Amino acid sequence: MGKPITVIFLPQAEDFVEALEIKARRKLFFAIRKTKERIIGQWFTKLKSSEGIYEFRFDECDKFYRLFAFWDTEGESETMVIGTHGIAKKTNQTPKDEIKKAERIKREYFEEKNRTSKNK
C-alpha cells in the first residue's frame, strides 16, 4: 500500500464546492472518498491532451460538474490530490480553456512550492 492520499482544495475549488447544492456535494465527496481509498473509476479520470490534469466527474439534475485536480506526489508521508477549480455545464464536453486554466494553476502551485522550499 502506498502513501495515504489527501485531497485539498485551492481557493477557487473551495468556492466551487461551497456553492454546490447538497446532492451534488454528496456525489463529489463520494468520488473523493473512493479516490482516497485508491478505488479507480469514472468519477476521477485523467484528461487526455492535458499536462497531468484530472477531473472529479459527477452529474446531478441534468448538469455535468467537473472539479479539476492534479497529483502532488513529492511529499514524504502523503500523496496529495490538489483541486484547482470547478465548473457546472449542460454538456458532457470539457472546455479546453478550463483545462488550460487548471494547467496554469498547477504550474503556479509547483513554482510557489519550489520557491518556498528553496527559502527554507
Look up residue 62 and give its three cell numbers: 441534468
pLDDT value at 32 more than 70:
yes
Separation between Cα atoms, residue 36 and residue 28, nearest integer Å = 12
Q: List pLDDT tens digits, range 49-85.
A: 899 999 999 988 888 999 999 999 987 888 999 999 9
Q: How confident is the model at residue 14 (pLDDT cuts 50, 70, 90)?
A: very high
Which pTM value belongs to this model?
Answer: 0.91
The CATH code of the domain at 5-118 is 3.30.2310.20
Domain boundaries, the chain: 5-118
- Give the DSSP letter of residue 10: -
Quick check: helix, strand or coil at residue 82?
Answer: strand
Q: In this structure, which amino acid lies at residue 78?
A: E
pLDDT computed for residue 120 by the predictor? 59
Give the count of alpha carbons within 13 A of 43, CB side only: 19
- Look at 78 and 102; give whichever has higher pLDDT: 102
